[in-house]
Amino acid sequence: MKDRESGMKEDRIKQKATTMVDVLLLVLLSLLCCGLERAAAQVPIPPRIDGFVYGADPPVWGKSVVVEAFFDPVCPDSRDSWPPLKKALRHYSHRLSLVVHTFALPYHSNAFIASRALHIANRLNSSSTYPLLELFFKFQEKYYNRPTYNLTRASIVDDISRLATKVVGKDSLSSFLSGFNATETDSATRISFKYGCSRAVTGTPFFFVNGIPLAVSGPVPDYKAWRDIIDPLVAKQS
Ligand SMILES: *[C@@H]1O[C@H](CO)[C@@H](O)[C@H](O)[C@H]1NC(C)=O
Ligand SMILES: *[C@@H]1O[C@H](CO)[C@@H](O)[C@H](O)[C@H]1NC(C)=O
Ligand SMILES: *[C@@H]1O[C@H](CO)[C@@H](O)[C@H](O)[C@H]1NC(C)=O
């Protein structure tokens, strides 16, 4: 009797143990599968590396300090960070290069349209990319969430396209509007965003200096902050 009872108990314990092993295996398997799925979700690789190069000369690998800026064209902090960075670019000239990536923040209703406009401008007339970025910085308040709350997407696209023709070229309105219908400009804007995500960009402006993320204290780096960061790097290069 006692033997039978303890035998049954043993069986139950064994059963419990097998169930636990099963559960563990399932958990392990599902973890593995999720991992595999994640590895399979390849971010589309663009034909050319993302970003708008400032100025006529592209950065020469290893020859200049490279600042990468992730900007949302309708973000006030991105706007405020631009004048001191531009001043630094003038100061350092060819010793400093800038590449801007668009990063459309989801809580800015018109950020994706504005970012896409930059990609369209870059395709139609690459010299107009930065002038358009500056136009966005100048007039961005018009495109904030509240003043555009009752506007249709079509009217915002139209308005932004008209703004863009000021710098892209006066006969560019229809090609600019068709740019908003082209899938390449949509995917280019998505890739900029995914690229930012892959580099753990969490807001704008977000800067990398020679590939290293910049931890900025305060709202945005001012001119002095840029000098403090870049002066020692330039000194070590020469
Ligand atoms: C949007 O339109 C509604 C209805 O016409 C109006 O009551 C509201 O004030 C408008 N909102 C804004 C932000 O303009
Ligand atoms: C391209 O853009 C630049 C900068 O806005 C402008 O000066 C130039 O006239 C534009 N080119 C054409 C062909 O319109
Ligand atoms: C863009 O697509 C929409 C909807 O398909 C169409 O109504 C519009 O005419 C197109 N615009 C241009 C400029 O091609």
* Boundaries of every domain in the chain: 1-41, 52-233
Q: How large is the average pLDDT for residues 21-47?
A: 61
Q: Where are the alpha helices (DSSP H) in 93-182?
A: 111-124, 129-139, 153-168, 173-179
* Atom number of ligand 2 nearest to Cα 131: 5
In the chain, pLDDT over 70 holds for what percent of residues? 83
Q: Are 137 and 73 in contact (CB under 8 A)?
A: yes
- pLDDT at residue 1, as a whole number: 45
Helix (H) or strand (E) holding 98: strand 96-102
User: Quick one: which ligand is closest to 172's CA?
Assistant: 2
DSSP annotation of 16? H
Confidence of residue 33 (pLDDT cuts 50, 70, 90): very low
Q: What are the angstrom distances between the C-alpha of 51 and each of 60, 208, 218?
A: 15, 13, 26
Expressed in angstroms and rounded, the spacing between residue 168 Cα and the centre of ligand 2 is 5
Q: How large is the average pLDDT for residues 202-219?
A: 91
Q: Is the pLDDT of residue 113 over 50?
A: yes
Q: Is domain 52-233 in CATH 3.40.30.10, yes or no?
A: yes
- pLDDT at residue 237, as a whole number: 85
117 in contact with ligand 2, CB cutoff 6 A: no
Q: How large is the average pLDDT for residues 203-217?
A: 93
pLDDT tens for 4-31 read 555 555 555 555 555 555 555 554 555 4
User: Quick one: which ligand is closest to 153's CA?
Assistant: 3
Expressed in angstroms and rounded, the spacing between residue 88 Cα and the centre of ligand 2 is 25
129 in contact with ligand 2, CB cutoff 6 A: no
127 in contact with ligand 2, CB cutoff 6 A: yes
For 86, phi and psi rounded to 5 degrees? -65, -40
Is the link from the previous residue into 205 a cis peptide, with omega within 30 of 0? yes
Expressed in angstroms and rounded, the spacing between residue 164 Cα and the centre of ligand 3 is 18
* Atom number of ligand 3 nearest to Cα 177: 13
Q: Is the pLDDT of residue 111 over 90?
A: yes
Top mutation candidate among 181, 183, 185, 186 for ligand 3, by most atoms within 8 Å of CB: 181
Q: Are 116 and 156 in contact (CB under 8 A)?
A: no
Q: Please tell me the number of Cα atoms within 13 Å of 153 on its side-chain side.
A: 6
Mean pLDDT rounded to a whole number for the chain: 88
Task: Count the residues in the chain.
Answer: 238
